[in-house]
Amino acid sequence: MRRSIHLEKHNLEKTGWLRAAVLGANDGIISVTSLVIGIVASGAGQQTILITCLAGLISGAISMAAGEYISVKSQADIEEADLALEKRELENNPEQELRELTQIYIHRGLDEKLAHEVAIQLTAHDSLAAHARDEIGIIEMTAAKPVQAALSSALSFSIGAAIPLLAVLMAPQHYLASAIVIVSIFALVSLGALASYTAGSSIWKGALRVLFWGCFAMLITSVIGSLFNVNVT
């Protein structure tokens, strides 16, 4: 009877897109909400608040995409340079590289004979992949993907920033600040819980962590905005 192979799904596989998505959505909610709260506290009119919210959404999404792309592309460039260096070493000094791989497996707990045999077999199968994984630490599931990270950040930021925007569009002027704060707090708690659930960690800890920093940012900008009572309509 043929045995089925059990392939486990690990949370580490989600690292790249989850980090960018959570960072983008969290930043979209907090930064745009904080910006709008500051403008509301200054006494600005609803049209000014709406324009500010839209400007924050657009500029923030572009900034997140550009920043994330540059950051992750730099990581990808480093990985590519390391792989190119390792490829040259494998071509010029294959025996030395085999000894290096053997020593790595010895340090991980294999005896010398078995470590050498494992190193030989992995080198024969795909020497560059073996050294990338075990010597440099580059694995496929966590390798840098700049375009994916940039698009994920921009999209998630826009979704997050759309939450205070909807509150601005739907809430009456005299309830605007309260509506933005309530909606944003609910969104932050939901985001923190969802991110923690997806990552396989504590939902409550994730929700409270995001909530704390979001409320802190809104409080600071509200205090600063209240210092400038412009009464713009």
Residue 22 lies in a domain: yes
User: Per the structure, how many domains does the chain have?
Assistant: 1
Q: What is the pLDDT of residue 11?
A: 46
pLDDT of 205 reads 82
> DSSP string spanning 12-23?
GGGHHHHHHHHH
pLDDT at 17 over 60: no
Q: Per the domain annotation, does 104 fall within a domain?
A: no
* 138 in a structural domain: no
Range in 5-9, 125-129, 135-139, 185-189 the model is least confident about:
5-9
In a domain, 230, yes or no: no
Cβ-based burial of 149 (10 A; exposed 0-12, middle 13-18, buried ≥19): buried
Query: What is the percent of the chain with per-residue pLDDT over 70, rounded to a whole number?
Result: 84
Q: For position 162, what pLDDT does the model report?
A: 92
* DSSP code at position 5: P
pTM: 0.68
pLDDT digits (tens, 9 = 90+) for 198-233: 767 778 887 888 888 878 877 887 777 667 765 544
What pLDDT is attached to residue 133?
A: 80
Lowest mean pLDDT among 10-14, 146-150, 174-178: 10-14
Q: Which domain holds residue 190?
A: 15-81+144-225
Dump pLDDT digits (tens) for 39-52: 887 777 888 888 98
Give helix then strand counts, H and E, for the chain. Answer: 7, 0
Mean of pLDDT values over 112-138: 82
Task: Report helix angle 112-131 to 46-92, nearest 10.
Answer: 130
- Residue 42 located in a structural domain: yes
Q: Tell me which residue of 134, 149, 157, 192 sits closest to 59, measured CA to CA.
A: 157
Asked if the model's pLDDT at residue 124 lies above 80, the reply is yes
How many other C-beta atoms can be found within 10 angstroms of the C-beta atom of residue 27?
A: 19
Q: Please, what is the average pLDDT of the chain?
A: 79
Whether 131 is in a domain gets the answer: no
Strand, helix or coil at 109? Answer: coil
Give the C-alpha separation, 36 to 54, whole Å: 10
Tokens of 10: 């690990």
By three-state DSSP, how is residue 41 classified? Answer: helix
Are the C-beta atoms of residues 170 and 150 closer than 8 Å to each other?
Answer: no
